[in-house]
Amino acid sequence: MKLLHTEEVATGGGIGVHANGYLYARIYAYDPATKKDSTQSKSTKIKYEGGRASNKNKARIKATDMAREIAPHIGKTANPFKRYFVKNIAKEWTDLVCELADENEALKIKGKRPKHEVYGGKPGRYWAVNRKETVQRNNRYLKEFWKTLPTQDIKKLLTSNSTVLMNGQRPKIGVRLRL
């Protein structure tokens, strides 16, 4: 995305004017380990008014805050800008388990050994129909609990302390999961 009147704000970021007339933050996200550049421009939602200093200062502050929020995720996730939501992660996990269990079952039918072991489980324990059903049942059970969380954004939940997370109350649902 081409920005006009660009300027460097701080290490890892800058601001510029988008064609729509708003100031955008350019957040540099280069991961030297993978040599992947994920730099993106995000709207600050501040209108550009011919270089007006107060608007530019607001945009600089917002751009710096945006870059500070993204910085810890660079190199730790495939896309530091992606927002991860609790229900999506739960669905992705359930889908993955179903896929692995189905693949193992297909191998068993062919008379071969299953190849997908349970993550973090004892060696020799493989994803199977019963484990798949347990994960699906737990996901259905927890669906209502996900809605009670103060935010659905997993990054924000992980940076919250437990009292903020539960608003000083105990969780409404408790689950002990054994696979």
For the chain, the domains span 4-73, 86-165
Instruction: Please list the ranges in the chain whose pLDDT falls under 50.
Output: 162-179
The burial class, CB within 10 Å (0-12 / 13-18 / 19+), for 127 is buried
Encoding tokens for residue 155? 């990054």
pLDDT computed for residue 100 by the predictor: 95
Amino acid identity, position 118: V
pTM listed for this prediction:
0.55
pLDDT computed for residue 159 by the predictor: 60
CA separation for the pair 129, 107 (Å, rounded): 13
pLDDT computed for residue 158 by the predictor: 64
Dump the DSSP string for the chain: ---EEEEEEETTEEEEE-TTSEEEEEE--EETTTTEE--EEEEEEEE--TT-HHHHHHHHHHHHHHHHHHGGGBTTBS-TTPPPBHHHHHHHHHHHHHHHHHHHHHHHHTTPPP--BPTTS-TT-B--HHHHHHHHHHHHHHHHHHHHSS-SBHHHHHHS-HHHHTTTS--S-------
- Any idea which fold 4-73 has? Double Stranded RNA Binding Domain (3.30.160)
Instruction: Compute how many other C-beta atoms are within 10 angstroms of the C-beta atom of residue 80.
Output: 19
Instruction: Compute how many other C-beta atoms are within 10 angstroms of the C-beta atom of residue 70.
Output: 21
Tokens 């990054």: give the residue.
Answer: 155
Largest CA distance in the chain: 73
Q: What is the phi/psi pair of residue 47, to 5°?
A: -70, 135
